[in-house]
Chain A
Amino acid sequence: MKISKANKIGKINPDRLEYVIKAKANYRADARAKTWEEKVESIARMRRAAVVQKRHVA
């Protein structure tokens, strides 16, 4: 999709904005639909990723 100069300057592209809002809404709906176990497992994954990132930076 070609982004016009005006949109680049204003940083507002209605099509792109709509896509991002929809994607975020879907992501949040999926996140909320998870069971507690699934949510805790995703927190554990975030923790593991943070440890790897810390090691990488160090």
Chain B
Amino acid sequence: MKKALLALNSIKKSGVIDDYAIGGAIAASFYIEAINTEDVDVFMSASENSILLSLKPIYDALEQLGGKVEKEYIVIGDWPIQILPAYSPLVEEAVKQAVTVQYGNIETRIFTAEHLCAIALDTGRLKDFYRVASFIEQGKVDRLVLNRLVKKYNLENRTKNVLNWSSDENQ
């Protein structure tokens, strides 16, 4: 993972991308217990010109740093990285408001717990609802902030699929 993060930081430093943020299971594992996943989801703002045109310059830059393209992934070290443009206003906001954290001695950016939960509700698979329930159960999400996101992005009808959604009195 360190190799992947160093490569992402390198293409950010060299100006290939403005910024990035990690989402999905890897980001969720920062807040709650480890969640099995096949890849690392790396999101970039869709406002970046390179993203609007093609992901190729990003993949090319990562290949020069030792990455190998395999299907929709670029494998760096042990990890397949999936580069994704922010595909909705919610994800765009998540990229903008991502928080800077440390992975060992390497700085990186991940989605906030609240954005991860809102995106999980929006994605709407069984495992996504379970993930939201885990955040709530472990007290790792600010319910007021999450509720604001749920209202803002019209996700109210999805919350009924989260078993413990109403368990927190402070929501």
Contact = CB atoms under 8 A, between A and B. Distances in A.
Interface in B66-105: 78-79, 101, 103-104
Interface string A26-37: 001001101011
Given A37-B104, A40-B26, A43-B26, A32 B33 contact: yes
Contacts of B145: none
A39 interface: yes
Contacts of B37: 43, 47
A32 B26 contact: no
A17 interface: no
Interface string B1-44: 10000000000000000000000011001101111111000000
Main secondary structure of the interface of B (DSSP, over half): loop
Interface residues on B, range: 10 to 19
A43 B36 CA distance: 5
A44 B33 contact: no
Contacts of A34: 33-34
Given A32-B33, A40-B26, A42-B34, 18 more contacts: A28-B33, A32-B138, A34-B33, A34-B34, A37-B1, A39-B34, A40-B29, A40-B34, A40-B103, A41-B1, A43-B26, A43-B37, A44-B1, A44-B78, A44-B79, A46-B34, A46-B36, A47-B78
Interface of A: 28, 31-32, 34, 36-37, 39-44, 46-48
List the 10 closest A-B pairs by CB distance, nearest first. Answer: A39-B34, A31-B33, A39-B29, A36-B30, A42-B34, A46-B36, A32-B33, A40-B1, A43-B34, A37-B104
